[in-house]
């Protein structure tokens, strides 16, 4: 059996960490849904920047947009292109959404990374993008920054599906789960005497980037004990987050919401492409399999797992050892909390840089099109 189908039998959904107009128009996305049981798609500014800058697949659409209004801002042009792609992808995945009664089949669209420290701006943009796409299987991505946390709660309370992104630590995870639960409470309070329509959320916990920072520090320390932890801390960190997920969402504290039909906020493992060539190219898939989770996978990693992935439930294995491994880090002068805070800051900066690069590329394309009389 296709390993990607086997993962689904373990209760984990595979989402594709990529989107482009070609992916949708070529029928490749539909093929992945049909043959690999793909259950969702995620996007971010970096993904869109790469898609729009690669080739000329967006040029005709840009030309049409500029024919309608030459004075559109570069941001407006990007949003028009992105909304069209997201709508088309959600339509491909709508049968999955319907078959799972809203449990899966989602496509994510991120608010501007320049709003990462602006709570009110994030809330407004999340609502605006939600209304622009007009698909029930859309998720709006909001970062788990200090300003993003209240925006998550407010957006959930307003009935917007949210993919919380850029989480690296257990503290980030704790803040996000509580924001989701507060949002559900607000949603319930806003519907007195009515049947509540519960929004859906996932909590995107980033994985490989932790090893990218921690491994060189372990190597710098150089002791056998430190070197033995290389390639283990990111997975250990995720396993502890999953343990906390089960305590919160399958415990008494969430029981009332669960009994009323609210969805658990599934952990989503992000940044699961292997960066270190010394490790297995499917390391962050094979070691993070468990029920009520999502793994969002780059195309290359998806192909690798289809070819040689091994499937069994791993998230609940060796959790005590995972805790012990993380507890050893201070012995080697490594402050995981400080690392994960910097990773979140760096993630915001990287997405903002990609967003700006994307707008600059669109500016160049529009100049070329306008110079040719938008013909």
Catalytic entry in 37, 75, 127, 141: 141
Query: What is the rounded distance in angstroms from the CA atom of residue 143 to the CA atom of residue 204?
Result: 9
Listed residue (175, 343, 352, 178) closest to 270, CA to CA: 343
Q: Is 224 strand, coil or helix?
A: helix
Quick one: which of 359, 296, 364 has its CA closest to 112?
359
CB 51 within 8 Å of CB 21? yes
Beta bridge partners of 295: 14, 269
The alpha carbon dihedral of 274, 277, 282, 286 has a sign of negative
297 bridge partner residues: 16
204 touches 168 (CB < 8 A): no
**Residue 141 among the catalytic residues:** yes
Phi first, then psi, for residue 124 (nearest 5°) are: -65, -45
305 contacts 241 by C-beta, under 8 angstroms: no
Q: What is the DSSP string of 80-92?
A: HHHHHHHHHHHHH
Q: How far apart are CA 341 and CA 350, in angstroms?
A: 14
Catalytic residue set: 141
């Amino acid at each position: 059996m296709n390993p990607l189908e086997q993962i689904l039998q373990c209760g984990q959904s595979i989402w594709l960490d990529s989107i482009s107009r070609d992916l949708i128009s070529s029928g490749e996305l539909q093929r992945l849904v049909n043959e690999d049981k793909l259950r969702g798609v995620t996007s971010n500014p970096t993904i869109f920047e790469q898609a729009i800058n690669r080739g000329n697949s967006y040029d005709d659409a840009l030309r049409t947009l500029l024919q309608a209004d030459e004075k559109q801002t570069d941001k407006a042009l990007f949003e028009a292109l992105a909304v069209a792609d997201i709508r088309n992808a959600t339509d491909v995945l709508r049968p999955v959404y319907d078959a799972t009664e809203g449990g899966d089949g989602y496509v994510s669209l991120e608010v501007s990374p320049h709003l990462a420290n602006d709570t009110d701006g994030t809330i407004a943009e999340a609502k605006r993008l939600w209304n622009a796409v007009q698909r029930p299987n859309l998720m709006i991505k909001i970062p788990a920054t200090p300003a993003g946390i209240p925006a998550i709660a407010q957006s959930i309370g307003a009935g917007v599906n949210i993919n919380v992104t850029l989480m690296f630590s257990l503290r980030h995870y704790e803040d996000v789960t509580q924001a989701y639960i507060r949002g559900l409470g607000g949603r319930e309070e806003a519907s007195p005497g009515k049947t509540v329509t519960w929004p859906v959320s996932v909590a995107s916990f980033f994985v490989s980037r932790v090893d990218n920072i921690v491994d060189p520090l372990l190597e710098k320390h150089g002791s056998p004990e430190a070197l033995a932890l290389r390639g283990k801390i990111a997975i250990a960190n995720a396993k502890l987050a999953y343990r906390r997920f089960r305590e919160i969402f399958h415990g008494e504290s969430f029981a009332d919401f669960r009994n009323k039909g609210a969805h658990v906020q599934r952990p989503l493992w992000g940044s699961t492409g292997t960066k270190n060539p010394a490790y297995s190219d499917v390391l962050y898939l094979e070691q993070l399999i468990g029920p009520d989770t999502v793994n969002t996978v780059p195309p290359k990693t998806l192909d690798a797992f289809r070819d040689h992935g091994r499937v069994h439930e791993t998230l609940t294995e060796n959790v005590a050892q995972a805790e012990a491994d993380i507890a050893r880090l201070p012995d080697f002068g490594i402050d995981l909390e400080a690392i994960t805070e910097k990773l979140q800051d760096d993630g915001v900066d990287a997405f903002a840089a990609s967003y700006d690069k994307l707008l600059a590329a669109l500016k160049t394309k529009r100049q070329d099109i306008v110079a040719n009389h938008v013909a």
